[in-house]
Amino acid sequence: MITVLCGGVGAARLLDVLRRTVEPSELVGIVNTGDDLVLHGLRICPDLDTITYTLSGLNNEVTGWGLAGETWRVMDELGALGGHDWFRLGDRDLATHMYRTQRLSDGATLSEVTAELGARLGCPIRLLPATEDPVATVLRSDSLGELSFQEYFVGHRHAVEVSGVEFRGASTARPAPGVLEALEAAERIVIAPSNPVVSIGPILAVAGIRAVLERRRDDVVAISPLIGGRALKGPADRLLVELGGEASAAGVAAQYASVAGTLVIDAADAEQAPEVERLGMACEVTSTMLSEPAGAAGVTQAVLGG
Amino acid sequence: MITVLCGGVGAARLLDVLRRTVEPSELVGIVNTGDDLVLHGLRICPDLDTITYTLSGLNNEVTGWGLAGETWRVMDELGALGGHDWFRLGDRDLATHMYRTQRLSDGATLSEVTAELGARLGCPIRLLPATEDPVATVLRSDSLGELSFQEYFVGHRHAVEVSGVEFRGASTARPAPGVLEALEAAERIVIAPSNPVVSIGPILAVAGIRAVLERRRDDVVAISPLIGGRALKGPADRLLVELGGEASAAGVAAQYASVAGTLVIDAADAEQAPEVERLGMACEVTSTMLSEPAGAAGVTQAVLGG
């Protein structure tokens, strides 16, 4: 079994690549919930949904987010009413959030709802929320004060300098059912090429999860989300710098050195390999561009063959 | 000023008729909230919405409920997910509920949100929820136990025999801001041709509202929702019988005798006039079919000219 710590888009791509080689039943995703929000009364889990949609073949390849064939009737009407339309929720996507919210209100757990949605939509891989307890990624900006993750990421399009990050609730949050078991049982634990700070950070902050990785460090492989020192998408590179680190493979290694024995970095960052090894990690160099055959093959090899 | 106690469809028609004669600024609707529900996390106020949509010219004339030009993308997707799709929420309508839910969550009151939606949608008449506190109309059925109003009305299409009704929360609910003032200031208080039991009942059950009507009884005109002893729409006739009364103009009079000095009944029920008067009410007989010119004129005359 391969257990993967997941943010959103990067993790969805990784799982989509790995399932070509690994039986889907042997893959488990443990997914960040720090980005979750309640908006219009609806419980929205962006990372769980991105992965579910992508692995169900429903993702929108053009926009890079959301569902294929999406329509925007509700959002258009909401905008006309003067409602919050900065967080774009398509008509199909809304059904997911309405389903989830009602089931949670009926007493179902987030794990149960995630499994139900996966089954209905056709997701072949078991996804577990990292925790069912509330964890909120909160960013601090000297100019704007506290921002929820989505205010930062979508509302301000992450064009805000961040001076701190907090995973509120994480220290008392318990891993969701099955999470510790999936980490213990895995032959290999993989950290997806997601944002180390705001996607993987909230998972590792849940009480007990980091400890398993530290103990199983030799079986943990992390994949750097940077290529040539830059994030493919999103603010991973800037956040690493703003929070006192480095936007480089070595900067990623510094985040993961205590929990992962191996870091997979892109060939464009090959000159950083000695730096990564100096931090005590094995370093695998390959193409990491998952949308390309060479990257898909290289990362699969690095994860499975190491 | 004319202040009207309102359920949904019948009240919307009445207000739409009255505004042809009365300046909209001189009309106030006090609207039932006992049918309100939270579904999929969304706060839904069916009576407030029906009236707002109708007076804004947005109502669907074909179905008799909901919005014109409505689409059903979200509901179709929700059904495909296995979610609750028995309470049909169109895409345009959903925007209303999402707006309301978010504004309430932001700290706005239901009165404020109602005014905002009215202004955005173009409702020319001031609508006030009867109360901002939770009041839930709960029906008891010997076979099914307790049913929320919408489970009864929509879920079971009111094809359930009812043995009791409760307006849960009403005795401690306070009238919304402006409600008592609108009742005190009105030259005439009108009880719309809505369901006396489940539409007007929850309004009268809110602490303090019934007392104003009792005191101002001579200025209160109620319009019977029955024509020839039958409800035009909905279960008013059956509920009157099932709860120990009569499906007749006299049965309606028995509901209203303590709060209204006058009952307007349809010409088809003219033979009931002596019975109504025996209960201590003046009785006006006219066509009450508001969709027809004679009914619109007759009811307007009875309300304004009495």
What pLDDT sits at residue A41? 97
Average pLDDT over residues B195-207: 96
A141 forms bridges with which residues in the sheet?
Answer: A145
Say yes or no to pLDDT of A192 above 60.
yes
Alpha carbons A35 and A136: distance in angstroms, whole number: 7
Closest alpha carbon within chain B to A90? B74
Closest residue in chain A to residue B100, using alpha carbons only: A40
pLDDT confidence of residue B61: 84
Q: Residues A267, A273, A279, A283: what is their CA dihedral angle, to the nearest 10 degrees?
A: 60
CB B254 within 8 A of CB B276: no
Cβ-nearest to B40 among A77, A101, A120: A101
The size of chain A, in residues, is 306
Q: Which residues of A touch B121 (CB under 8 A)?
A: 81
SS (H, E, C) A86-145: CCCCCHHHHHHHHHHHHHHHCCCCHHHHHHHHHHHHCCCCEEEECECCCCEEEEEECCCE
Q: What is the pLDDT of residues B251-276, one digit of tens each?
A: 999 999 999 999 999 999 999 999 99
Closest-CA residue of chain B to A43:
B41
Mutation for testing the A interface, residue in B71, B76, B94 having most A CBs under 10 Å: B94
Helix (H, G, I), strand (E, B) or coil at B139: strand
Best residue of A37, A40, A116 to probe chain B, by most B CBs closer than 10 Å: A40
Query: Do β-strands A2-6 and A27-31 pair in parallel, antiparallel, or remain unpaired?
Result: parallel
Q: Considering CB atoms only, which of A43, A75, A84 is closest to B41?
A: A43
Residues from chain B that touch A83, judged by Cβ atoms under 8 A, are 95, 98-99, 102-103
Distance from CA of B74 to the nearest CA of A (A): 5
Residues of A in contact with B105 (CB under 8 A): 38, 41
Tens-place pLDDT, residues B161-198:
999 999 999 999 999 999 999 999 999 999 999 999 99
Question: Three-state SS for B175?
Answer: strand
Using 50, 70 and 90 to split pLDDT, how confident is the model at A224?
Answer: very high
Distances (CA, A) of A264 to A167, A270, A285, A286, B230: 26, 10, 6, 7, 76
In chain B, residues with a C-beta closer than 8 Å to the C-beta of A98 are: 40-42, 74, 78, 83
ipTM, two decimals: 0.92
pLDDT of residue A306: 54
Residue A44 pLDDT: 97
A38: nearest CA in chain B?
Answer: B102
Q: For position B63, what pLDDT does the model report?
A: 82
Q: Do A81 and B121 touch (CB under 8 A)?
A: yes
Chain A CA closest to residue B43: A41
- Residue B80 with chain A: CB contacts under 8 Å: 95, 120
Question: pLDDT category, A291, cuts 50, 70, 90?
Answer: very high
- CA–CA distance, A143 with A145 (Å, rounded to integer): 6
Task: Mark out chain B residues that contact chain A at CB-CB < 8 A.
Answer: 38-43, 71, 73-75, 77-78, 80-84, 91-92, 94-96, 98-99, 101-103, 105, 116-117, 120-121
**Rounded Cα gap, residues B40 and B45, in angstroms:** 14
The yes-or-no verdict on residue B53 having pLDDT over 60 is yes
> In this model, does residue B87 exceed pLDDT 90?
yes
- How are strands ordered across the β-sheet holding B164-168? B145-148, B136-141, B164-168
Confirm if A103 and A112 have CB atoms less than 8 A apart: yes
Taking residues B273-286, report their average pLDDT: 98
In a mutational test of the B interface, the residue from A81, A105, A120 whose CB has the highest number of chain B CBs within 10 Å is A81
Give the highest mean pLDDT range of A146-150, A160-164, B124-128, B154-158.
B124-128
- The pLDDT value recorded for residue A63 is 82
Structure tokens at A19: 């399932």
Task: Report, as an integer, the average pLDDT of B76-86.
Answer: 95
| CB contact (8 A) between residue A94 and residue B74 | yes
* Amino acid at residue number B168: R
Nearest CA in chain B to A71: B73
Q: Is the pLDDT of residue B11 over 70?
A: yes
Q: Cβ distance A250 to A258 under 8 Å?
A: no
In this structure, are strands B262-266 and A220-223 parallel, antiparallel, or unpaired? unpaired
